[in-house]
């Protein structure tokens, strides 16, 4: 998008507010689980051993992931965000999140999409998003942005 086509904050808020309101309900759960394991593995039992492990996810994590998949935060072109901003580690992701403003919605779209899409084929990615605090950082920053603009827009009325 060039500068002429860039959306104004109120348009971005209108587009994403409902999704953000649904997602931030998971902040308390993520605060209790950040740094903890939300996945176990099933390797069979003594009667029927299997040669590979099957990830077993926390039910709340699965609901959270399914919810993200239904939002406007999903972007199949998320690798473009990572290349463009030279984001390589979870620390880089958290730095990008903390610096993000309402006009940087691609930061949120890119990071949510990476974790959700990669997690479909790589068993530990969703769990890593919880353990390394990336999901929590995303939601806290989105909540801060929404609260700021909700207040600002109300004051203008």
- In this structure, the number of other CB atoms found within 10 A of the CB of residue 1 comes to 7
Please determine, for residue 88, whether its predicted confidence score (pLDDT) is greater than 80. Answer: yes
pTM equals 0.85
At 6, the pLDDT band (50, 70, 90 cuts) reads: confident
Q: How many helices (H) and strands (E) does the chain have?
A: 8, 2
pLDDT tens digits, one per residue of 96-141 = 999 999 999 999 999 999 999 999 998 789 999 999 999 999 999 9
101 by DSSP, 3-state: which? Answer: coil
Q: Residue ranges of the domains in the chain?
A: 9-156
């Amino acid at each position: 998008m060039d500068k002429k086509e860039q959306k104004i904050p109120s348009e971005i808020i209108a587009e994403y507010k409902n999704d953000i309101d649904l997602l931030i309900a998971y902040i308390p759960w993520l605060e209790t689980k950040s740094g903890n394991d939300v996945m176990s593995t099933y390797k069979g039992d003594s009667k029927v051993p299997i040669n590979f492990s099957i990830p077993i996810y926390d039910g709340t994590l699965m609901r959270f992931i399914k919810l993200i998949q239904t939002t406007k935060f999903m972007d199949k072109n998320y690798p473009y965000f990572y290349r463009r901003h030279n984001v390589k580690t979870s620390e880089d992701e958290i730095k990008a999140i903390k610096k993000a403003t309402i006009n940087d919605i691609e930061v949120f779209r890119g990071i949510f999409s990476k974790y959700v899409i990669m997690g479909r084929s790589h068993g530990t990615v969703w769990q890593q998003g919880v353990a390394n605090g990336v999901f929590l950082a995303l939601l806290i920053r989105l909540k801060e942005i929404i609260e700021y603009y909700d207040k600002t827009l109300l004051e203008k009325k």
